[in-house]
Each structure stands twice: as C-alpha cells, then as structure tokens.
Chains A and B, each alone.
Chain A
Amino acid sequence: MISSIVFVLLLGATAFIFIRRLKEIRYNINLGRDLDLSGNFSERFKIMARVALGQSKLVARPFAGLMHVFIYLGFVIINIEILEIVVDGVFGTHRAFEAVLGAKAYYVFIGIFEVLALLVLTACVAFLIRRNIGKLKRFSGVEMTKWPTSDANIILVVEILLMTAFLTMNAADSVLMTAPVELLQASGLDHYAGFFFGGWFWVSAYLTGFMPNDVNTLFIIERVCWWFHIIGVFAFSIYVLYSKHFHIFIAFPNTFYTRLQPAGDIPNLAAVKKEVELMMDPSADPYAAPAADAGPPQRFGAKDVEDLSWKQLMDAYSCTECGRCTSDCPANQTGKLLSPRKIMMDTRDRLEEVGKLKRAEGPDATDGRSLLGDFITKEELWACTTCNACVEACPVNINPLSVIVDLRRFLVMEESAAPSELNTMFTNIENNGAPWQFAQADRGNWTEELNDN
C-alpha cells in the first residue's frame, strides 16, 4: 500500500516535470518565424516512417547504424514493459500482464524483451568503447566540449545500468517464483508463488546461477532492481528533455516536417520579392502605404534565433550531435572552421538562452547577444560550399545549410559584410550580368569561334 502511494507520487512528479519542460521547448520553438508546412500528410508520413521509424539514413554507416537499431528497437519495445511496471506499481500487483497474456505468451513476451535488453547492453558497451577509446574523429571537434561529451557517456551508462537492473530483476524474480511455495508463504511472499512458465527467461537464465537461495534476499534483490529500474526510467525521461537525447521524441515530428522540395532549392525570401517587385515593376506605386495588416518589417536573413523559422529551431532540438554532418562536410574535412553540427548546437544553445530570458522577463526582453557573432562567426559561414552533404548525412533530416544561408543573408543584406571578393562578384553581376568583368555583349562570342577549330 505504502509502496503504491510512493509510486503514484513519483509517477505524478515525473509527469509534472516532463510536461513543464515540454511546454518550455514548445515555447522556444514557437519563438521562430512562421512557416506554413501544412498539407501533404501522406508524403510526410512516409518520410517519417522511412527515416525515423525505419532508421533508413542511419545505416549509411553500417556498424553505428546496426548498433543504433538495436538500441532503438530495444527502447521502443522494452517500453511496453514499462507499462506493466506502471500497472504493478500503481496497483501493487506482481507481473500483471501474465494474467492478461497467459503464462506461455507472457514467457515469450519477456523473453523477447530480454534478448533486446542484451542487444541494447552490447550496443551501449560498444558505443562507450568507440567513443572513449576508439577516438573517432567525429566525436571530437571544437563544439564537443565537456557537456556534450559527458552527456553522451551519461546516456550510455544509464542505459547499461537500466538494462542490467532489468535482467538482474528477472533473474532474482524467476528463482523466487519457482521457489517452494511453503518457503514463500513462510516469508509472506505468497504473491510470488504458483507461477511457472516452463523454465528461466531466455537471457536472465544465465544470471540465475549467481542468485542466492534465500527467498528473503531474493526478494530484496528483486525489489531493489525493480525500484532502481523504474526510478531510473523516470529520471531518464526527464533528463532526456535537457539532453541531446531528446531526439528520441522529436525526431518523429522533425522528419515529418522535412522540406519536400529538392535539396538544391533554397526558398526565395518573400520580403525581398516584394521589394524587388516595387523596384522593377513599372506599374508599382512606390508611395503606396503598406497594407494595414502588415507587421513591422522583418530582418533580411537571420541574426538571432528568432529570425529563423520554427522548423529550423525544431531542427536544433533534434540534433543528437552524432557529427555525421560535420564528418561529411568538405570544409570541415579540409581543416576549415565550419562544422554544421556546431551550427545546430549553437542554435539550440542560443535558443535555450533566449527562451529562458523571455520566460523570466517577458517576450520583449533582450540580452544584447545574438546567434551571429556571439556563437557563430563569419569565418565559419564563409567556408560553406552549399553542397548539401550535411543535409544528406543527417539521420533525422536536419538542414544546417538553411541556417548558414540565412545567417549569410543577414551579413550581406543588413550589414554589407560580405568578403571583399564576393562584393566584387556582386558588382560584376550588377554591372555586366556575370560574376566576372566580361561585357554582357560578348556572351555570344563563342558562337563565332565555333567553326574555327
């Protein structure tokens, strides 16, 4: 009874903190500019099913991809077991699903979970070794400071502990459940008795040899593991919302809202379109008053997170810092400062900062800092070749290139801060319709040379 109350309180507290944090994230994402991504449900759903559910882009790197699929499947499927744990916790029952599924099906059900748990354990150990001993290049880099590095290790260690607790619990429990009924009755553990599924569970069977015979000790081991596991799950679910690990939730909406246009299509800026039409269209009235419903003029391009769209901000929250974008980036590979992963991490970190400020001091609060300048430097931006390798590499369809282009737009159109060679190129295009100083009238000269050979 007391344990049920404690459990319900813990569950409630977890849900409360979880929802409060989700609301914070939603508030932050909504600080971004509007962008209409409605419609195309079935096409979007297919992309989500393929990329997020189906992990299609992860397997581009086979080893990491396969290990990730283990952890992913383990996570999704073992979470069904969490349901049983919650039912048991609230009602004080013991393995409530056994009665629902029947002994045989339940045995298989837990067996599958255990196999997955073992795969998760293996993958997490492999990932820990790879990260800390393997010295993979993409796990270093300027943006991989102390927190991102320990964040990754914390997640892996916690998952290992949770899986170990789950398997140890099952081992202790199965020895307990098959103990002589009289012994269980003598210790007041009747509810563990009378339970037989035809053998040990598939994986924890190998741990039963390490279990003591004393039912009271077994009971303590089983309970400690049970509580450790579920409290661990509660704590982890909140931790996730403050961690790069948030991708486990947000990867789904993020892939759903993938841009459907070809990757090469950089959207035209609507605000500029209006200005250009005014300038070029002879029938436009330059003195026309702006429409009554026109808001304040927007910045051209982006200086800070609020100048980005909500989708770009959602991208930032989806980043798992895996570094595939950076390791495929031609600029980064050749020693330039640009790292697409850093662009996304900076966007997220700045957004967290701005969100915190605005929630505390109101929506108009500012701190004099900005994404461009205080987080991302010009040198990073000017190294980009817009090749889309980062976009292609991202397993959850983040588009770092769009952020880079928007920041460049601000630099060029609001600050006139393009590198001088690019200014020369602009001038050439303006004056002679080519990026070099060639006369437009000479464009067709090659046709004269055609028959020279």
Chain B
Amino acid sequence: MTDSIKIKTMAQMVASGEQPEVLFWVGCMGSFDDRAKKITKAFAKILNKSGVKFAVLGAEESCTGDPAKRAGNEFLYQMQAFTNIQTLNAYEVKRIVTTCPHCFNILKNEYPELGGNYEVLHHSQFLQNLLKDGRLTIEGGSFKGKKITFHDPCYLGRANGVYEAPRELIEKLDAELVEMKRCKERGLCCGAGGAQMFKEAEKGDKEVNLERTEDAIEVKPDIIAAGCPFCNTMMTDGVKHFNKEDEIEVKDLAELIAEAADL
C-alpha cells in the first residue's frame, strides 16, 4: 500500500464542481456489518486502483427499502425510495454500482417507476467491464490450482439473470471453477432473502444456510465465492457450523479480485 485512499462523498464532489463516473451504493450491510465492510473496502480499493472516479453518498445514503418491501411493508419501502430518489436525482446521478444484489435489484427494477432512472450495475458486472477495458489487470497466480465454487445470489441470478459475470471473474483468477449440483437458475437460496435475515426462521427441521453449505462442501472447494454480503454471512455461518473454516474460505468476488491484484 502506497498512497492512502481518500473517498469522496457526492456532496464533496459536487461542491468542487465534479461529477463521478459512477456512484458506489454501499448498502446497509456494506456500511455497518464488520464482515461486509471488508467487501466494501476491497471493492473501493479496486475502483481506486483502476482509476475509476467514484463517490459514495456517505451519511446521505439510506436503506433502499428492500427488506421492508419484501416483508410486505410497501409504505416504508416507498418512503425510503422517495427520499433516496430525491437525493440521487438532486446529485444528477446517472450510474450506480453496488456490491449488494438486493440494492442492485431494487434500484434497477423498482425505482424507475417511482422516478429513479439510473444505469445500475452489480459489482461483478462492473469488475468484468474494468477487466475487459483493460483498466484493471490481475494475475491469478495466488489462486492457481484452487477450487472455487460460486454461490448464485437469488437477487442477482434468478431475479436478474446475471450468471456469467461472476463466473468470468473467477475464471480470470486462473482458479478451477467447480459448480454445485444446484447452480445458476436452480441455485438454492442461502436463506437470508425476503427479510429472513432479520428474523428467526420459521419452525422447520433445518436451517436453509446449512442445506446450501452442504451443497458447497460436497464439491470440496477451497473457496466459496459469494456476490452478496447476506449470502456471505449465511455461508460463513454454515461453514463454521460444519467446522470447515480451516479448509474452506467464504469470500466475495471483490475480495478475490483485490487479492489477485495485490491490493
């Protein structure tokens, strides 16, 4: 690490008469959860390294309303959307990238009708573009020979049909991509979506994240790659439950790329 990185907020950027290339929507997990903050930082470092002019909303960012909406509280969701859209539109934001598929989905699909029209990218797509455009180069050396399996986040995969971008990133790492028996369109949920993250699971005979972690353990990976901070938590808990944390790491795509790029 040479230079220290200074991240500007939208307010700072606009005050100095600049517009960012892209707004990094961090999300609640990425802002507050200790594990997810590592993903946020890894992605910010990549953006910085690639010379992407980006900004965050900082204290002006607020929950997109996704967990409220999925739990049935359309009022709260639309109030959140209303204020967020006012902020985003006031800054004339055109492009948004986010490391959270839930934020990605709701910003991309559900905000436009309420007046929020932006080009919204998941960070896997954004990273794919950086590599494609040659703005970011990585050497997969440290991952050579490692087995990586990718857990499709529901809100990236089934919800929005993004299956290839994350996989292309993993292939760039020179790692061996191994697929779980349930993957892509038929990938199993980690158990956190639809506001389940915020409540105890209903009565059953098993936790969903354990069922999914078993899928992953079955293919004997060195790393479970995730593209969602919620999935990441659920899979990490699952791996710990099976006492496999010494053999299997759970890492976000951004962390893998940052590691490969020596950041």
Q: Which residues of A contact B (CB under 8 A)?
A: 60, 261-266, 268-269, 272-273, 275-277, 279-280, 300-301, 328, 330-331, 333-338, 379, 382-389, 391-393, 405, 407-413, 418-419, 421-422, 424-426, 429-430, 433-436, 438, 440-447, 449-451, 453
Contact = CB atoms under 8 A, between A and B. Distances in A.
A441 B32 CA distance: 11
Give the top 4 A-B pairs by smallest Cβ distance, nearest first.
A264-B159, A408-B72, A386-B194, A335-B205
B65 A429 contact: yes
Contacts of B105: 262, 264-265
B67 A435 contact: yes
A335 B197 CA distance: 18
Given A268-B114, A443-B61, A385 B189 contact: yes
A263 B105 CA distance: 10
Contact of A338 (B109, B114, B186, B202): B202
Given A265-B105, A272-B78, A335 B195 contact: no
A429 B76 contact: yes
13 contacts: A262-B160, A262-B161, A300-B74, A385-B193, A392-B158, A409-B73, A409-B74, A433-B62, A442-B32, A442-B59, A443-B32, A444-B7, A450-B7
B30 to A, nearest CB: 8
Given A385-B189, A443-B31, A262 B62 contact: no
Interface of B: 1, 4-5, 7, 9, 26, 28, 30-32, 37, 40-41, 44-45, 56-59, 61-63, 65, 67-76, 78-80, 82-83, 105, 109-110, 113-114, 154-155, 158-161, 185-186, 188-189, 191-208, 211-212
B44 A330 contact: no
Contacts of A442: 31-32, 59
A266 B110 contact: yes
Nearest to A408: B72
B79 A446 contact: no
B69 to A, nearest CB: 7
A412 B200 CA distance: 17
Contact of A421 (B83, B113, B159, B200): B200
Contacts of A411: 72
B75 A272 contact: yes
Most A CB within 10 A of own CB, among B28, B57, B71: B71
A436 B41 CA distance: 20
A180 B186 CA distance: 62
A426 B41 contact: no
A106 to B, nearest CB: 45
A388 B154 contact: yes
Contacts of A449: 37, 41
Given A276-B79, A385-B208, 8 more contacts: A280-B82, A330-B188, A333-B211, A405-B72, A409-B73, A422-B195, A425-B68, A438-B31
Nearest to A338: B202
Contacts of B204: 331, 334-337, 383
B38 to A, nearest CB: 9
- Chain A, interface SS category: helix
A65 B52 CA distance: 49
Contacts of B61: 433, 443
Contact of B196 (A262, A385, A409, A450): A385
Most A CB within 10 A of own CB, among B30, B193, B207: B193
Given A429-B65, A444-B58, A261 B28 contact: no
Contacts of A444: 7, 9, 31, 56, 58-59
Most A CB within 10 A of own CB, among B1, B73, B192, B211: B73
Nearest to A264: B159
Contacts of B82: 276-277, 280
A434 B32 contact: yes
A418 B41 contact: no
Most B CB within 10 A of own CB, among A265, A338, A388, A446: A446
A85 to B, nearest CB: 42
A412 B72 contact: yes
Contacts of B160: 262-264
B193 A426 contact: no
Nearest to B196: A385
Contacts of A407: 72
A389 B202 contact: no
Contact of B44 (A331, A382, A450): A450
Contacts of A279: 79
A337 B203 CA distance: 8
A409 B72 CA distance: 4
Given A264-B159, A334-B206, A389 B188 contact: yes
A270 to B, nearest CB: 9
Contact of A269 (B71, B74, B188, B189): B74
A276 B211 contact: no
A264 B109 contact: yes
A330 B211 contact: yes
A422 B201 CA distance: 12
A69 B218 CA distance: 33
Contact of A446 (B1, B41, B154, B211): B41
A300 B75 CA distance: 10
A94 B215 CA distance: 61
Contact of B78 (A268, A328, A385, A418): A268
B74 A413 contact: yes
A426 B75 CA distance: 10
B48 to A, nearest CB: 9
A389 B158 contact: yes
A408 B32 CA distance: 28
Nearest to B194: A386
Contacts of B70: 266, 386, 405
Contacts of B45: 450
Contacts of B158: 263-264, 387-389, 391-392
A395 to B, nearest CB: 13
A383 B195 CA distance: 10
Contacts of B62: 433-434, 440
B202 A412 contact: no
Contacts of A387: 154, 158, 189, 193-194
A413 B69 CA distance: 11
A87 to B, nearest CB: 46
A391 B80 CA distance: 27
A382 B199 contact: yes
A306 B1 CA distance: 62
